[in-house]
Structure 1
Amino acid sequence: MVSELINANPIIYEKKQRRARTAPSACDDDCALESIDELEVFDHIRDIKDPEHPYSLEELKVITEEAIELDDQRSYVRVTFTPTVEHCSMATIIGLCIRVKLMRSLPSRYKVDIRLAPGSHATEAAVNKQLNDKERVAAALENPGLVSMVDECLAPSYD
């Protein structure tokens, strides 16, 4: 029922056209050392579906290319996302979806840091703590209901 949605009428933005990327060099003996860039990280997460709406996180401007920081030398990725409203009850689920997608997509050498944009959420510190605590993330991924919701958000869309 639409009246139950936290943000029943979100602003929808146009998706950016995907840019052509050069093919990565062939892996030698150690693919874990494969280099990535911010665009590749964005391409992995741009199509994640919002838990409440039939739109992608890119279409809702929850994530943007500019909000991805990458230090390939230190194997560090930070994704900062902005919920559509400051009291979004789905912020933790959105962050968990981003984390799971990157865990499944990036070489294992990368440490991933998922954050809410500063000042974008009423419980920003608590959500950031949950999203970056290994034990809490592991516990969440043992919950069949949460895993089902995450998998639904990560399912490919065919538009």
Structure 2
Amino acid sequence: MSEFIASNGVPVIPDRHGGYQFVREPFQFGNLTGITADAAEALRQFFQKEEDDRLGRWRWPANPDYVVYALGAERDGWRVVNEATGNHHFYAFRTHAMVGSSQYAAAARAFFGAHPEPKPWHSAKPGEGWLLTIDGEERVAVRGAVEDFVHEKGVTPWSSPTITSGRRIWPEVAS
């Protein structure tokens, strides 16, 4: 895991020896060494994030009692769990969460906002030709060796919000 910034602003930086570094120094009193309350809270959050990542869950920043698990090989279902109560709600479609007013629906909407649906061009392979709508203009583009599309007006990253639609044109899609 790389540098982690806790909600209180304290960075936790894992080092190559299995230890952790803080921007704010630990304090010493006699032969005791300790860390500040802010650093302790930052460590709690760091280890919680590490465990969330290990278990494949996403924690809602606005209400950390709610976690979301994406289910299935295609990630086509989502379980929202309130860890404080153990209660949960299952969403089979993204649209179901959009109409609910519960905290479960709000957590699901926050998850979907943090994990937008992948667009077809996000899985483009190097060398493929695509017809993309970039800044409202259709352009023929080729996926480069890195995650960029090269076209007559320059280079556009595949994740750019300026790409609003696209379809692969080469090699042709078998129908």
Mark yes or no: TM-score above 0.5.
no
**TM-score using structure 2 length:** 0.20
* Structure 1 or 2: more helix by fraction: 1
- The structure whose RCO (Cα within 8 Å, separation 6+) is larger is 1
**TM-score using structure 1 length:** 0.21
* Structure 1 or 2: more strand by fraction: 2
